[in-house]
Amino acid sequence: MDSAKLERGIRLFLEGLGPAAGSSELEGTPERVARAWIEDLVSGYAVDPERELGWTPVAEGGGPVLVRDVSVASICVHHLLPFFGVAHVAYLPGARQAGLSKIGRVVDAHARRLQTQERLGREVVDTLARGLACRGVLVVIRAEHTCMALRGVRKERSEMLTVAASGIYDSDRGARAEVLSLLLSGGSGRGPVG
């Protein structure tokens, strides 16, 4: 990423706001904003999600692995405003199993990019399916979008729920319903989705 270009862009943005944005408080803002975007907000571009996914061999035939309430923070590609919430991840291992922290790392590697919630779920599913060679993956993301809360219809506290799946969780309705029930019962304390 090009820090100098980001800083120039932020300076132009601030100039575009007019004289009110010319205060001395904004002196170091372009550098701070560029650093925040590079080091945090879109740091996922510098990460290979599949490299984040370490695994260990596992005996086949076990049940699903579920990880609930993985924090998600991302930037909406349409308005460059944040969205945030939780991801619930389930996979049915084949011969490989991921360490618990690796699931969170994969979610972050994809979330820390310019995203849509739908694409984020799909990318996490695809990375886990490829990296673990599992029999099925299902990802549910529940998030609040500030582009909906701060602009346009201004509906604070509205949430978007997306589901992405592969393998058995895409083709077998019973397996999908079972794992969705497990993922969405309790979890974030908000109760199951109707």
Residue 36 and residue 57 in one domain: no
Rounded Cα distance between 120 and 162, Å, is 10
Tokens 């975007």 belong to residue: 37
Residue 113 and residue 66 in one domain: yes
Q: Span 99-106, mean pLDDT?
A: 94
Residue 69 and residue 141 in one domain: yes
Q: How far is CA 148 from the centre of its chain?
A: 17
- The DSSP annotation for 34-71 comes to HHHIIIIITGGGGS-HHHH--EEE--TT---EEEEEEE
Does some domain include residue 80? yes
Does some domain include residue 189? no
Amino acid 60: pLDDT: 67
- What are the tokens at 191? 């109760």
Q: 32: domain range?
A: 3-41
Q: Span 134-149, mean pLDDT?
A: 93
Amino acid 18: pLDDT: 83
Residue type, 21: A
Tell whether the model's pLDDT for residue 150 goes beyond 90. Answer: no
Residue 111 and residue 163 in one domain: yes
**Total structural domains in the chain?**
2
Residue type, 172: D
Residue 35 and residue 53 in one domain: no
Instruction: Place 152 in a pLDDT band, splitting at 50, 70 and 90.
Output: confident
Does some domain include residue 90? yes
Amino acid 194: pLDDT: 33
User: pTM of the predicted model, to two decimals?
Assistant: 0.89
Residue 33 and residue 69 in one domain: no
Average per-residue pLDDT for the chain: 90
Residue 8 and residue 61 in one domain: no
Q: Span 112-116, mean pLDDT?
A: 97
User: Closest Cα to residue 94, out of 67, 63, 49, 54?
Assistant: 63
Residue 119 and residue 166 in one domain: yes
DSSP single-letter state for residue 77: T
